[in-house]
Amino acid sequence: MTEQLPPDVIAQLKAMGSAITAELAQSSWALLTPFHEKIGYTAPQIDRDLRYGDDPRHRLDVHTVGTEAGAPVFVFVHGGGFVRGDKHTPGSPQYDLVGAWAVRHGYVGVTMTYRLAPEHKWPSGAEDVAGAVAWLRQNIARYGGDPDKIVVAGNSAGAVHVASFAAGHAAQGDPAGIAGAALLSGIYEVRTPQPGQPEHAYYGPNPGPETSSLPGLLEAPIPLLFSVAERDPRFFQEAAAGVVGAWLERHGTVPDLVWVEGHNHMSTIASLGIAEAALGPALARFIDRHTTTEGTAQ
Q: By CB under 8 A, what part of segment 246-265 binds a second copy?
A: 248, 252-259, 261-262
Q: Does 162 bind a second copy (CB under 8 A)?
A: no
Quickly count: other Cβ atoms within 10 Å of residue 157's Cβ: 27
Quote the CA–CA distance of 215 and 242 in Å, as a whole number.
11
> Among 157, 85, 87, which residue's Cα sits nearest to residue 126?
157
Q: How far is the CB of 101 from a second copy (least distance, A)?
A: 12
Q: Does 293 bind a second copy (CB under 8 A)?
A: yes
CA dihedral of 219, 254, 78, 85, whole degrees rounded to 10: 100
Candidate list 106, 147, 193, 204; residue touching a second copy; CB under 8 A: 106
Query: CA–CA distance from 238 to each of 234, 235, 245 (Å)?
Result: 6, 5, 10
Quote the CA–CA distance of 200 and 205 in Å, as a whole number.
6
In the shown chain, the binding pattern of residues 214 to 253 toward a second copy, with x for contact by CB under 8 A and - for none, equals: --------------x-x-x-x--xx-xx--xx--x---xx
In the shown chain, the binding pattern of residues 114 to 153 toward a second copy, with x for contact by CB under 8 A and - for none, equals: ----------------------------------------
| Burial (0-12, 13-18, 19+ Cβ within 10 Å), 204 | middle
Q: How far is the CB of 292 from a second copy (least distance, A)?
A: 7
DSSP code for 295: B
Q: Does 284 bind a second copy (CB under 8 A)?
A: yes
Helix axes 22-39, 7-16, angle to 10 degrees: 160
Q: Does 281 bind a second copy (CB under 8 A)?
A: yes
Binding site residues, a second copy, CB under 8 A: 1-4, 7, 10-11, 105-106, 228, 230, 232, 234, 237-238, 240-241, 244-245, 248, 252-259, 261-262, 277-278, 281-282, 284-286, 288-289, 292-294
